[in-house]
Structure formats: C-alpha cells, structure tokens
Amino acid sequence: MKLNLRIWRQKDAAAEGAIETFELDGVSPDMSFLEMLDILNEKLVGEGTDPVAFDHDCREGVCGSCGAVVNGQVHGPDTETTLCQLHMRRFRDGDTVQIEPWRSRAFPVIRDLVVDRTAFDRIQQAGGYVSVDTGSAPDANILPVPKPDAERAFDYAECIGCGGCVAACPNGAAMLFTAAKVAHLATLPQGKVERDARVLAMVTQMDEEGFGACTNHYECTAACPKGVPIDAIATMNREYLRATFLSKEGV
C-alpha cells in the first residue's frame, strides 16, 4: 500500500512544531503501525534526514510506552488496542494518516511524537502503593477476597499508564489513570491501610500537575487500550468524598 502520512515534527520542547507530509510506499497490511513508522524512519535515515521520534518498548501491548493520536483517535481506530498492536490492514491504499502526539499541558512534547509523562510517575508516587511486608509468602486464604472484587480490581489494575485517557479527554483530565490506581487498591484488603491518605494525596498531585477536571464525557474509557471501566472514576470520586468528610485524614 501507499500512504500519505502527515506527522507532527518538533525538534524539542522549546521549538515550534508543525505537521510534515511524507509519502510512504510498500506498506504491507500485515505490518504493525510501529513497523510502518520503522520503514518510514529507515527511508528518512537513508535520505539523510532525522527519523521521526516515537516511544515504544514491548510492542506487544503491555508496557504502555507507545501511543499517538491517529486521525484524531487515541491509539488509532481499533478499540482496546495499543498503537503497537494496531495493524496496517485497518488502512487502505492511498489513505491519508495524520499522526499527532498526546496533547496535554502536563505532557509536554519532548520531540516529535514523544511526550514527557513523568507527571504520571509523580501521581503514582504520591500514594499508589501499599505498605505490605514482603517477607515470606503468607498463608493461602489468610486474606479472603470475594471473586467479584478480585475481578474488578483486576480490571482497574490492567491500566498500563500509557496516557491515552488524558489524550482522549476533551478536558485533558487524568482521572481515568488516577482512578484506576485508587480504585484498584481501594477494592482489595491490602489497600485499606492507606485508603484515605492515598486518594487525597493522589488527587492533589493530579491537580498540581495541571490536568483538567472530569466532566463525564467518557471518551477516556472508550479510548483506553485496556478498557479500564468508567466506574473507576465514580469509585475515586466516592473515595475522595469519603476521605474528605468521614476520615481523620488531612484535617
């Protein structure tokens, strides 16, 4: 296939960026989206120009490194699919494909399609952990977890921190990411110890990073490559109200 690529190019955080156009021939429908970019980059390097910078690592949809907005859709047109798992058979010969980085004040562009997502690390560090002893393995069934809770917690834990929720949100909110962490740990007995302090600290950090506020468009959950459910956000809202009004935390 032959594609008409329109890609955001930006030298560094301070530089002005712009869309650049490339024609790419010989794209196979069996390639992944990132392999298509690899082919483009080989060609660009051959021509003595800078390759297009993009983040990637596992290329099997588990690490959360990759991601771009393709024709206005986060991680492209497939549901519950990371960019590395998107295949070129979703496109047709002669298509124009517009590729832009995540857009958020809290995710400044470092170069081309690569953005700085350390804001997520700081939210995680603010409270996304449990203080459990990691001594010897505990007895089986010492902490009973009902099956529905275990499954719900697992749905939340699937979040790979790619930032697609922020990119998809019309308000640039990081609620689905933060909520996935809060709801995951609030659902399990191990997470109860820091329950109130966690949600207060993580939400405060989220706000300080300059993300927007949720107005319930629900674009995030539809864009999420792991399908983290929207009730995570309701759970975080509930946890936040609980911690504010009913706990002795953060007086």
Partner 1 sequence: MLRWIDRFANSSIGRKALMAVTGLLLIGFLLAHVAGNLTLYADQDGSAFNAYVESISALPILPLAEAGLALLFLVHIYLAVRTTLENRKARPVAYQATGTHGQKTLASTGMFVSGVVILGFLIKHLLDFRLRKAEFDEAPHESIVEAFQHMPTVAIYVVGCTALGFHLFHAIQSAAQTLGFNHPKYTPAILWFGRIFGIVLALLFASFPLVYMVKNGGTH
Find the helix or strand (DSSP H, E) in which 199 lies.
Answer: helix 195-208
Which residues from 198-217 bind ligand HEM, rule CB under 6 A? 215-216
156 binds, options ligand FES, ligand HEM, partner 1, none, Cβ within 5 to 8 A by partner type: none
CA distances for 154 relative to 9, 67, 142, 207, 213, angstroms = 37, 22, 19, 26, 25
211 binds, options partner 1, ligand FES, ligand HEM, none, Cβ within 5 to 8 A by partner type: partner 1
Smallest gap from residue 181 Cβ to partner 1 (A) = 14
- Note the residue count of the chain: 251
Of 36, 49, 26, nearest to 99 by C-alpha is 36
51 binds, options ligand FES, partner 1, ligand HEM, none, Cβ within 5 to 8 A by partner type: none
Question: Which one of the spans 10-18, 78-86, 87-95, 242-250 is the region binding ligand FES (CB under 6 A)?
Answer: 78-86
Contact indicator for 187, 229 with CB cutoff of 8 Å = no
Asked if 57 interacts with ligand FES (CB under 6 A), we say yes
CA separation for the pair 65, 239 (Å, rounded): 29
Which residues make Cβ contacts (< 8 Å) with residue 123, sequence separation at least 6?
174, 177, 178, 181, 202, 205, 206, 209
For residue 217, the 8-state DSSP code is: -
Count of residues binding partner 1 (CB under 8 A)?
A: 50
Smallest gap from residue 34 Cβ to ligand FES (A) = 7
Of 166, 54, 159, 53, nearest to 104 by C-alpha is 166
Work out which of 6, 9, 43, 59 binds ligand FES, going by CB under 6 A. 59
Asked if 170 interacts with ligand HEM (CB under 6 A), we say no
Which residues form the interface with ligand FES (CB under 6 A)?
56-59, 61-66, 82-84
Which residues form the interface with partner 1 (CB under 8 A)?
19, 69, 71-74, 98, 100, 103-106, 168, 170-173, 175, 200, 203-204, 206-207, 210-219, 221-223, 230-231, 233-241, 244, 250-251
